[in-house]
Amino acid sequence: MRVAVLALAVLLAAPVSGQAGGQALPKAVPSAGTPRDFAGAMEKPDPALAYRILFDISAPPKDKAQPHQTLQRAGAMLNAMAASGARPKAGDIAIVVHGPPDTILLSDAAHTKRYGTPNPNRVLLEELANAGVSIRICGQSYLGHGYARDELHPAVQLDLMAMITIANLMARGYGVVRDN
């Protein structure tokens, strides 16, 4: 019993540093940051938990030349989880985009045609999708902006409307993180 308590204390004191046996763990989302750990942090990713999280993006990007701030936050969260050994199942992390920021979900060709530059979110969208994140766009916003399906990044799922997506995922136990 004493050995088990000591082993648990050692595990709980281990930092979220992305290190396992002296080797760096791979990031879930390579281009996103990883939050820095610090002594005394109370809540950390828990590999024993089943995470179900929806990122609700309705605010425009703060800097249109950079990936959207909430996509970056989602990637950083996945990297913090990976550094702690927590790996959500495919689809258990979702992103729904609606309104003005839906341009972040355009393909490079469509973004270039409409705005004169490639989509600065492309790499991050691909990495999030490769990490198992479900990326969705509000169908009403899509229709309102007059997009064609082939203008969206291939990883993007087209939903009827963001409110239904949010309500359905909340009913399925997802917690919602709103953008800022």
DSSP for 23-38, written as a single string: EEPPPSSTTS--PPP-
Q: What is the pTM of this model?
A: 0.84
| The pLDDT value given to residue 72 | 96
pLDDT tens-digit map of 71-106:
999 999 999 999 999 999 999 999 999 999 999 999
Mean pLDDT score, 52-58: 98
Which pLDDT band holds residue 179 (cuts at 50, 70, 90)?
confident
The mean predicted confidence, pLDDT, of the chain is: 87
Structural domain of 19: 2-38+46-178
Check whether 142 has a pLDDT greater than 80: yes
3-state secondary structure 63-88: CCCCCCHHHHHHHHHHHHHHHCCCCC
Note the pLDDT of residue 2: 40
Token pair of 149, please?
A: 């399906």
- Which pair of structure tokens corresponds to residue 47? 């590999």
Q: What is the DSSP letter of 44?
A: -
The confidence score (pLDDT) of residue 25 equals 61
- The lowest-confidence range among 23-32, 124-133, 158-167 is 23-32
How many domains, in total, are found in the chain?
Answer: 1
Query: pLDDT confidence of 177, banded at 50, 70, 90?
Result: very high
Which amino acid would we find at residue 59?
A
Q: For 8-43, what is each residue's pLDDT tens digit?
A: 333 333 344 444 444 556 789 999 998 888 899 999
CATH code (residue 87): 3.40.1260.10
- pLDDT number for residue 173: 97
Q: What is the pLDDT of residue 26?
A: 73
Q: Residue-wise over 70-104: b if at least 16 C-beta within 10 A, else e?
A: bbbbbbbbbbbbbbbebbbeeebbbbbbbeebbbb
> Among residues of the chain, what percentage have pLDDT more than 90?
81
